[in-house]
Homo-oligomer: A and B are copies of this chain.
């Protein structure tokens, strides 16, 4: 076997690998919307068949929600489990897409070729980098590389309700020596990155109920409690003028950034001007006194993700609506406990309700704590060297603003460490209209995994 031959095979087969990704991207596997259940199932079937064709013992495994894909190849060496997810985010607002989100295409941009389409970056493009690396290895060597399990989920974008039960029921099968996860981004274009820490997340949602019915703003405007005004007041009360969260006890368990972290992050290649400027911001708008990276990686947040009530149609409607609605996510760091934060957030809101208003909470939304990776394991150094070789740039261990609860579940339920390496870029517009994945990420991502698998097998 020769790493160079495998890399050459990846280069030669890039068109076919791209075609396969396009085929997967054309399946609208939106897991949050039941209207797309059949499509989501179809994406699982597609992956099962593809992995079978590579020689994996590959199965679609039922759950109460969307199925898991579990593929096994018994081989020599340490048992490596690769995790990814085949479901994608909803596409709205659809009107802001320049093309059909599920009719992907290669586009030329000022920064190079990109693969445009929902899921191209999150996570179909990323998970295919690993599968394509395996394919190239098999094409060259006639067999898959080492002792592998591939574990693909279809509910990541809808809170992974089946994941923990499935992992508990299938613990023996899923417990490997190390998990690899490809669902993260690089700190800057061309800077290979390994996640050292991830923020946790808490989701919540409420409806503010005011008048018994929608009211006419002439007959009732003045005396009526207006839920839209009240919900605005409640949301405005969550932060002070310095951008700090005002919920009592919110910062319990939040560690200060250490000098060592500050030094590491100062040197990690983060391009602040690009990060802010590419989305139209001239400065960081978070907590005063913290750098942009600290606000993103090391500080907790309360963000409003959805807010609505009253009339949204064309023209005007003189209504005072009976209800207003709000979707919230908090990002958590350090030892913040999701249940504890939820209690405090709700107490803050409830304490500020006016008479004649009441709140109903959605009690079906999950939370997960922050995670810190075991970067002292030798596999991290092996991966760092493999990535540095591929990208001609020292790989870095960085924080991540996002939340990938499965890293914590792997540790908690299976006692298994995880290593998160991804090739996305901050401008990929994941969860947004016009999502893309750089062709360079796809191509060098495959090559990176080939190099990493090669080093892990040594």
Interface residues of A (CB under 8 A from B): 32-34, 89-90, 92-93, 96, 158-159, 185, 199, 201, 203, 205, 210-226, 228-229, 231-239, 275-276, 278-287, 292, 295-296, 299, 301, 303-321, 324-325, 327, 329, 331, 354-356, 365, 400-403, 426, 429-434
Cβ of A233: which chain B residues have Cβ within 8 Å of it? Answer: 232, 235-236
CB pairs A–B below 8 angstroms (11 shown): A213-B433, A218-B402, A222-B286, A223-B276, A229-B304, A231-B232, A233-B235, A236-B237, A281-B356, A306-B319, A307-B307
CA distance A363 to B250 in the complex (A): 42
- Pick from B280, B305, B402: contact of A310, CB below 8 A: B305
Cβ of A429: which chain B residues have Cβ within 8 Å of it? Answer: 213-214
CA distance A401 to B296 in the complex (A): 49
Q: Are A215 and B432 in contact (CB under 8 A)?
A: yes
Q: Are B222 and A90 in contact (CB under 8 A)?
A: no
CA distance A93 to B340 in the complex (A): 36
Number of this chain's copies in the assembly equals 2
Most B CB atoms within 10 A — which of A199, A315, A426?
Answer: A315
CA distance A226 to B281 in the complex (A): 11
Cβ of A365: which chain B residues have Cβ within 8 Å of it? Answer: 316
Cβ of A201: which chain B residues have Cβ within 8 Å of it? Answer: 218, 318
The smallest beta-carbon distance between A165 and chain B, in angstroms, is 19
- Pick from B158, B223, B299, B317: contact of A296, CB below 8 A: B223
Cβ of A159: which chain B residues have Cβ within 8 Å of it? Answer: 315-316
Q: Are B185 and A219 in contact (CB under 8 A)?
A: yes
Q: Are A220 and B279 in contact (CB under 8 A)?
A: yes
- Pick from B212, B223, B426: contact of A292, CB below 8 A: B223
Question: With A307-B232, A318-B329 known to touch, is A432 a contact of B402 (CB < 8 Å)?
Answer: no
CA distance A301 to B228 in the complex (A): 14
Question: With A220-B279, A220-B401, A221-B301 known to touch, is A431 a contact of B356 (CB < 8 Å)?
Answer: no
The smallest beta-carbon distance between A437 and chain B, in angstroms, is 14
CA distance A285 to B304 in the complex (A): 26
CA distance A214 to B313 in the complex (A): 21
Q: Are B219 and A296 in contact (CB under 8 A)?
A: yes
Q: Are B313 and A90 in contact (CB under 8 A)?
A: yes
Cβ of A214: which chain B residues have Cβ within 8 Å of it? Answer: 93, 96, 429, 431-433
Cβ of A331: which chain B residues have Cβ within 8 Å of it? Answer: 217-218, 221-222
Most B CB atoms within 10 A — which of A218, A220, A279, A306?
Answer: A218
CA distance A96 to B214 in the complex (A): 10
The smallest beta-carbon distance between A246 and chain B, in angstroms, is 12
Q: Are A303 and B325 in contact (CB under 8 A)?
A: no
Q: Are B284 and A228 in contact (CB under 8 A)?
A: no
The smallest beta-carbon distance between A148 and chain B, in angstroms, is 28
Q: Nearest CB to that of A235 among chain B residues?
A: B232
